[in-house]
Amino acid sequence: MNVIKYKRVLLKLSGEALGENIPGGMAVGLDFSKIHEVCEVIRQCHDAGVQIGLVIGGGNFWRGVKNGSGKMQRSHGDAMGMLATVMNAIAVADVLAQHGMDARVLSAVEMNKFTEFFTRDLADRYLNEGKVVLFAAGTGNPYFSTDTGAVLRGVEIEADAILMAKNIDAIYSADPHKDPTAVRYSKLTYDQVLADHLKATDLTAMTLAMDNNMPMVCFALNPPENIIRVVRGEEIGTTVTI
């Protein structure tokens, strides 16, 4: 990794990407073989001098807007989703430590028995000290997705880019699994994404990134080595800019 394009990144992973596959195409709980693979790639980026902030979704345990819809009050369902992200962050921080990295979990909700409370300055200090920082509990508020939480933290730490590692290899004009005519994009502007209602992230996350001129790269997590390729500046996935 002689050439590094992005020196400080906010990497967003879905919780499902770390879960155990079960019949029906779902991924639940934690598959530590997957987590070790991802953490080994993060180690390689870290050893090359990349400062890494990490946000992990909670869908492998609980997705508030989906799992709680029609069954419980939205704020309560989203609170459970925030707790799911904390569990994922603690698990991944443990595996990162096994790979020789100092990892710290900062939560948007105070729970000092398990995590440290997030402040921008603490996160910045840890990153400059070479620690991997995991941001848990989303924004700390209901009605916001972890995509929005990832962009918010990326903007706050002044990342060079938001890296959205997804289960699809790029942004398309439609779902390529359902529409064989879907167009694959390698580069887009935020205006195009918003005008065409492209399903890269939720609209709040995309608008926040646009308002803060924050580059975003959407790419497939499989294989995890794609993270290294993006950090190097290789043109994989879709890059979204102003």
Say what the pLDDT of residue 2 is.
63
With residues binned 3-state (H G I as helix, E B as strand, rest as coil), the percentages for the chain, rounded to 5, are 35, 20, 40
DSSP class of 15: S
pLDDT at residue number 112: 95
CA distance 90 to 156: 22
For residue 190, how many C-alpha atoms fall within 13 Å in the half-sphere facing its CB? 17
What pTM, to 2 d.p., does this model score?
Answer: 0.95
What is the per-residue pLDDT for 69?
83
Backbone angles phi, psi at 92, to 5 degrees: -70, -35
Strand order in the sheet with 216-220: 116-117, 103-107, 132-136, 51-56, 8-13, 161-166, 216-220, 238-241, 187-189
Alpha-carbon span 210 to 240, nearest angstrom = 9
pLDDT of residue 1: 57
- pLDDT tens digits for the chain (242 residues)? 568 999 999 999 999 999 999 887 789 999 999 999 999 999 999 999 999 999 999 999 998 778 888 899 999 999 999 999 999 999 999 999 999 999 999 999 999 999 999 999 999 999 999 999 999 999 999 999 999 999 999 999 999 999 999 989 999 999 998 999 999 999 999 999 999 999 889 999 999 999 999 999 999 999 999 999 999 999 999 999 99
Residue 83 near residue 39 (C-beta atoms within 8 A) = no
**71: β partners:** none
pLDDT confidence of residue 65? 78
